[in-house]
Every structure is written in structure tokens, then in C-alpha cells.
Amino acid sequence: MTLLVLAHFAVALCAAPLVRRAGPRAFFVLALPPLAALCWALSRWGEVASGRPSTETWSWIGAYDVEAAFRLDALSLVMVLLAAGIGALVLVYCAGYFRPGTRQLGGFGGNLLAFAGAMLGLVLADDLMILYLFWELTTVLSFLLIGYDSEKRGSRRSALQALTVTAAGGLAMFVGFLMLGQLAGTYRISRIVDAPPAPSAALVVAVLLILCGALAKSAVWPLSLWLPNAMAAPTPVSAYLHAAAMVKAGVYLVARFAPAFSDVTGWRPVLLTLGTVTMLLAGWRALRLNDIKIVLAYGTVSQLGFLVVLAGAGSYDTALAAVAMILRHALFKAPLFLVTGIVDHAAGTRDLRRLSGVGRSLPWVCAVAVVAGASMAALPPLLGFAAKEAAFDALAHGGTGERWSLALIVVGSALTTAYTLRFLWGAFARKPGLADTPVHRVGVGLLAPPALLALGSLVFGPGIGLLAGLFEEYAHAYAVPEHPYHLALWHGFGLALGLSALAWAGGAALFLAREPVARFGRRVAWPKADEVFGRIVLGLERSALQVTGSVQKGSLPAYVATVLAVMLAGLVAVLATDRPWDDTPAPRVWDSPWQAGVGALTCACALMCLVVQRRMKAAVLAGLTGYGTAALYIVQGAPDLALTQFGVETVSTVVLVLVLRRLPVFFGDKQRIRRRLTGVLLALGSGGVVACAVWLAAGARTAEPAGAAMTEETAHHGLKDVVATILVDYRAWDTMGESAVLAVAVLGVTSLLYVHRRQGRSASPPARLPGGVTAWSLATSRLRVPAKYRQGAPERSWLVAGDTLAPEHRSVVFEVVARLVFHPILMLSVYLLLCAENLPGGGFVGGLVAGVALTIRYLAGGRHELAAAAPVHAGFFTGLGLALSTGVALVGLTDGTVLHAFTWHGHLPLIGDWHAGTAVLFDLGVYLLVLGVVLDVVRALGSKIDQQTEYRAGLALAGEERG
């Protein structure tokens, strides 16, 4: 089964080159996987009908008991026959339907075949997660198929509408699946159906959520609006997705779970009510339409409502009738859509007001349509008649709800007869006063697929007994009544036949009175579902704009205050409700007096931020709070955390200072006392509540801490630094993911700051005037004497690009210090990288320290000095580091770890014995990534701003010179 599903996707990947090479004839090749699935299903018919389903299972997510399980039983066999058989015929039909050179035909063929594979996997899935996976694949692929002609606004809108409705239902269904799997203790569908969980409120909610997905996919009112609009898709898509496959997925899901949950509260009322309402509303709507394809679309919606009623009724007889009706619907609706495509192809229109005499010009096409239409109207001796008789009889012998549904379904069947006659008359009849529509002949390849499907309705009517064994095998999931219904073409004169005759007579009368009925329908017409959907979407857009406009005011303090207020309200509500402090031991104030002293100084720095007026002072004080936190780590005995905190705080403070260069020195107008007091109270309250929550969370621990086990395991490998070991082994995948997020975030921010290409190597220095003086020097120092005419010996340059700075912007002491400490700091960063196994350090803090060294060079010598110190593009470091860490992690999968996937040992002179593992390479990747991130930030917020400032100064100087 797995190979059959995968074969569909494998061949779909080859669709584009096949179509380029063979044109539409490539669809014959694309039809082979569904044909193989059809033959395989037919070969399993005997054993499945005798109660021996085929299964195939392999573990997927073992920790959660999720398995890639497939199962072929009676119900899934019927659905495989429809998905594979009709899929193969539709693909053959495409070979004659599309002309050579049709745009994007390869992608269309691949998507259609992939949809067939997804539908095959959906009906074979025996695990809730696998079923959901294929369910969403059908949603996405149907979106692509409906929007095939993406240049048309209508196609794009229809595709988006179908995706919105079905995906929203699918998300609700996914939540229901998760709840159901937890309640049942397993995600295997067969086990859940055989032993459903005990009734509970949670089970009711789970079942109703699952029904949301099923009803959305099967276009049941009020979620039926997407299917008629999906007729914007090519006719083969309509014939397959919206008549035989995709819309049957919801009915299949209802039929699959009905044996287990038909007695759950809400199941029958929801399905019986919505199913009958859907059948009536859609059938009535079909009587007023003039596009024969849209008539069939509303007819499909109407029949789906009927199928949902039968599949959800929850009895042996209705289950038997439901399976027969599923097959009956596919065998008449798919050929009718294909015939509509032929008429449109031959006549160039689908408007029944413009079609006349097509039946005389295309007699074989008309004959196929008449046979399929007769089965839709349930006329004997076709399959539609036998299935409709079974449905009427099953509902007549059901409970009160089923009998009420039967009365409405008879009315719906009369509407079915009426719109069937309207379709046949509109498409093929000769109309008075209207000249015959010119048509061209169609080939056998185009007519054969619908003819074979219509022939199935003709053959399986008298031969329905051949299908009875398979259908009854599914129905045996319910308790067998004393006098079960047996499928047959003729059961004599009785209630079911009388109701059928009543429906035929009512439908014929509605058709004969079609003009008055149409006028009456237009007078009492309710708003179209499509218009209601459009108004809802427009209302949501307007509401979103209003909410966004009232909240997103461009004020960072307002955003922070909103976040803190929501967090504060949520935590206070939880704490006030649960009162967890009753069972939590009282907290210790401190472990040592040093903690109290450092904490008091840190709080003092934070409070001083409230009273300063200079932005730079506030930035420095905020940085001191970070350093105070690092000091607390030192006092507590956590040197790794302290070292990392020092590095992060240093880089953050430098970045903040670089940003503040573009802002005014002082804060704006003094805030009102009330507003400032509110901010202070909100900040203090948030900090206090978070501290309380952390204390309560730590005090609520009941399990043994994991630290002891990690310490023991680390020592077992001869290592001492537990923190570094955790980061590069136990949580190496987390570290790799966090590193990737860091890189993406920083690259995104710097790219938003400067949309054009970020600065890599040193940008070309501004044009120099005689003597090598830059425009920046002239603009700042106003010097106009070339350097060669200055008196005195030349000064020694401590930095490579020190002479590019204006004299008043240079600091000899800073330049000397930068020259002296640069290389030692780099050596320190390498030391921190390599000693991480046994001493505080690691790739992250090493990269930060190396970034600090480069930052010092920039602060001392400007952007040209930074370019000389790091002539490599920052993206090179970032990409190399991420690639190295990812590669080491993937190689480590060979034995399930990252740290000791590979190790090396040796002896070096002067150094002695040494050993290294892949953890060093992993940490080296983190080192390079962090270094690249820091370098990118400094260049974006430092060098780039300097370059812009020089450019503006040069322009101003040039203007003065011209003046």
C-alpha cells in the first residue's frame, strides 16, 4: 500500500518533463499509477469481502504511538475503487481534453496525479495523524488545481475560498483527532472504532470538531459555498475532485466513525439536520441557474447532503444504503461533468440559453448523458434506482429523526429529478426560436471515459447483487437487525417505490413549470452564500484595520506596556484562582550576603534609569543591570552563565550606543507624572509577579532534578563542564535550532535597516582631496591645508585606518589600547572555545568575545579599521558556522549522538596528550556563527551609518565649494 501511494507522487514529479516531451499524450503515462491501484484493489476484493482486511504498519513517532498504518477493509476498498478507477479515466480524458501547447499543463498533470495519491493514502490510512496528513495534502492540491488558471481573478478567488473553508475545518478536525487519540489511548482508527472511549463531555467536543472538518470537506451547509465557486477549475478537476474524490472524503470520514460515535450526543442531530437542509437548499438553487456546470455543482452539494444523512444515521440498513449511494453518485456525477466538458469543448459555451440541438449533433454524447442523468434521477433499471430504494427503505424503518429526514429527502429527490431534466434539456434539447448550436465532432478518447462510467451505472443496477457482499461487510460494523435489507434491483411494490414515484412526479412537474418556478425563486431568493462570504471577509478586513490602527501607534513604550499588562493580568488571574503558595515552602531571601549587596546595586541602577534625561546614561545604566545579573551568577557559582551574560551585555550595550547616535541626546518632552507613574507601577508589578511565579514553579517540583544524572553522565565521559556538555550533546539539536533562529533574526533586522546589499568588504573610501584629506575630515575639522604642507614630523599610526578619522575624533590612548588588546582578546576567544569541555567557555561566549575584539577595533579606528580587521563578509562566517554545526549534527546521527559520534586522540610535543570530539567542531560552528552575527550588526549599525554620514558631509562640502 505504501508503495502504491508513493508511486503516485514519484510519477507526479516526472509529469512536467513527460508533458514537455509528449504533450497531452503524457496523461496516458500518468494514468498508470491509479490503474495499478485499481487492479490491486480488485485483486483484494474476495478476501476483503469475506472479512479479512489487509494491513501494513511501520513505526513513525514511537514515543507517541503514532504509526504509518494502512488498512484495506470494505469501506476503504470502495473508496479506493472510486479514487483509482475514476482517477485513471479522468487522466485519460485529459489527453483528449487539453490541446498541445496548453500553458502549465505539466504542473497541472502532476498536481492531479499527486491528488489521486493523496486521496488513496487518505482512505487507506489507519492512523489519525496519517489520515490528517493526507487530508491536508488533498486540501493544498485542490487549491492548486482550482487555481490552475491563476491569471484569472475568479480562479484565484475560488481557490483561496476553497482553501480557507476546507483548511479551517481541517484545523478543527486536527484538534478533535488529538483529543480523540488521548481519550482512546491510541491513534489507530481501527482500534478506536472497535473499542471507542467512554462517553464524556470531552468526547462530545472531539466528535463535533471532527465533524467540522468532514462537513467542510463535503460542502455541507453552511460550509457549502466553496464548491460551486470551485467550478472555475478545468472540467477534469470538477469531475474528479468535486464529484468522485475530494468531496467524498468528508462522507468517508463520517461513515468511518459512525459505527463508534453515532450514539454520541449531537452526532445524529447535526448530520440529519444539516444534511437534509443542504439537500433542499442546493437542489432549489439548481433550478434557477443557466450554466450547466454550475447546475451540476449545486446538484453535487445536494447529493452530498443526502449522503451525509445516510452515512451518519448509524444503523445497518442506512450504512448499506450509504455505501451503495456513494458508488451510485460517483458513477453518474463524474460522467455528467465529463460530458459537460465535451459540450463546452465542442460548442464553446455552457449557457443552456444558447445551447440548442446539441443532442442531434452529438448523439453518443447525449446518450451517455441520458444514462447518467437517469441514474441521478433514480430511474430503473439503473444503479441509482436500486440505491435510492435502499435509502428510502432504511430511513422509513429508522427512528423518529430518520423518518422526518425521509419526508424532506423525498422533496429533495423531487428537486433532483427537476434539475436533472433541466440539465438534459438545457444541454441537448432543440429549443424553439433558437438555431442549432454549431459543434465539432469529438474523438473516441474524449467520449470513452464518461461512457465507461455511465455503463457502470447501467450494469450495476441489475447486477447490484455482485456488490452486496462487499457492502454488507461494511454494514456488519452495526448490529444486524432481525430482518436486514438486501440489495436488489426490484423489491416489489411498496413504500419505497411509492415515494420514488412521488419524487419523479414532483420533479417532472417542477421542470414543466420551470419558468414560474424560476420567477418565484428570484422573488424569494435569499442572499447568495458567496456574497455573504465576501461581506464577512470584507468585515474582517475592516475590523482588522480598525483594531490595528488603534493598537499599532508606532510607540514602543505602548507596545511594551501592552505586553506586560496582558502578562500581568494572566499571571495574577491564575495565581488568584489556584492559590499555589499554600503548599509552597517559604523562599530564602539570599544564600549569601554578597547576593543581597549585588542585588541592591542592580535594583538601584534600574531605578536610576527613571530619572536620567540623557539617552546615553540610560543605556549605560541598563547595561549595568545586566552586569549586575552576571555578578549574581558569579556569587551563585555559575561561571558559565556569568561569562555568557558579560559577553551578551557588552555587545548589547555597544549596539544600543550605536543606535543612539542617530537619536537626540536627551529624551523628548518630559512625560506626565501620571503616565510615568503608571509605567513604573506596571514594571514593578510585572517584575514582582514574574519573580513570584518563578518561585512557585521551583517550589512545585515533585520529580527528581535531572542535573545529578547529567553531571554523572558527563563525568563518565571524562568531562567537567556540564553546561557546555548539555549545549553540545544533550541539547545539541536545540542549540543548532536556536543558532539558526539567531542568524535569521539578525540577518532579517539588518536587511530591513538597509534594503540594498549589506556592506561586506570595506566600501570605497570617499573621494580624497589633495593631500589625502577625506570629505569627512574637511566637514568636521574644517581643515583646508593639505597634509604635506603641514609642519612637524608625521605621527605614528597605531591602527591601519587611523588617519581616516578627523583629529578631534581620534584618541591615541584608545588606539594604543585597541592595538595591544586586539590579538590577546582573539586568543582568549579561541581559548574559551577549546577549553569548554573542562572549564567555563564554549563556542557562543567565544564568538561573543571575538566580536568584542572587532568592535573595539571599530570604535577606535572607524569603519575602515573594521574592514581591515575583518575583510571577510559577515555572511561568510554566519553561513560557514551554521553549515558546520548542521553537518556535525547530521553526521552524529550515525550513532545517535553529537558529542561522541567521532573522537580523535594523539600526542604533541610541548602540549602532551590531547583528544577532541565532534563537539569541538560543533562548537566551532557556533563560534563562527556568533562572530558573523556580531560583525553583521556592527557593520549595519556602525559602518553603514558612518558611510551615510560621510556621504552627506561630502555633499554639503561640495555644495559649499561650488558656492
| pLDDT of residue 727 exceeding 80 | no
| pLDDT tens profile 54-95 | 888 887 766 666 678 899 999 999 999 999 999 999 999 988
Q: Is the pTM of this model over 0.75?
A: no
**Mean pLDDT of all residues in 262-291:** 88
**CA–CA dist 695, 712 (Å, integer):** 27
pLDDT digits (tens, 9 = 90+) for 184-203: 888 889 899 888 888 888 89
Segment 896-902 long-range contacts (CB within 8 Å, at least 24 positions apart): 897/729, 898/728, 898/729, 898/732, 898/733, 898/922, 899/717, 899/725, 899/728, 899/729, 899/732, 900/717, 900/729
Cis status of the peptide bond prior to 381, with omega within 30 of 0: yes
Q: For residue 781, what pLDDT is reported?
A: 40
Q: What are the start-end ranges of the H helices in 524-614?
A: 529-551, 556-578, 593-608
Tens digit of each residue's pLDDT (9 = 90 or more) over 863-884: 888 888 888 888 888 889 888 8
| Residue in the block written with cell 444539516 | 274
Checking if the pLDDT of 608 tops 80, the result is yes
pLDDT digits (tens, 9 = 90+) for 118-165: 999 999 998 888 899 999 999 999 888 888 877 787 788 888 888 888
Mean pLDDT of 23-51: 89
* pLDDT confidence of residue 35: 92
* Cα–Cα distance for residue pair 641/622, rounded to 1 Å: 19
How does pLDDT run across 473-510, given as a tens digit for each residue?
888 888 888 888 888 888 778 888 888 899 989 888 88
* Residue-wise pLDDT tens digits, 732-766: 777 888 888 888 888 787 777 665 444 444 444 44
Residue type, 451: A
CA 364 remoteness from chain centre: 46
Proportion of the chain above pLDDT 90, given as a percent:
13
3-state secondary structure of 265: coil
In this predicted model, what pLDDT tens digit does every residue of 316-352 receive, in sequence order? 888 899 999 999 988 988 899 998 988 888 888 888 8
* CA pair distance 55, 357, nearest whole angstrom: 53
Q: With beta carbons less than 8 A apart as the criterion, state whether 878 and 750 touch.
A: no
Sorting pLDDT into bands at 50, 70 and 90, what band is 773? Answer: very low
Residue 524 has pLDDT above 70, yes or no: no
Joined grid coordinates for residue 357: 440541438
Q: What pLDDT was estimated at residue 892?
A: 65
Q: Say if residue 173's pLDDT is above 90.
A: yes
Mean pLDDT of the chain: 82
What is the structure's pLDDT at 656? 84
Q: What is the pLDDT of residues 889-913, one digit of tens each?
A: 777 666 555 555 556 677 777 667 7
At residue 210 the predicted structure's pLDDT band, cuts being 50, 70 and 90, is very high
Grid cell locating 468: 452486496
Average pLDDT over residues 38-47: 90
Mean pLDDT (whole number) for 46-61:
84
Among 31-40, 591-600, 797-806, 881-890, the least confident range: 797-806
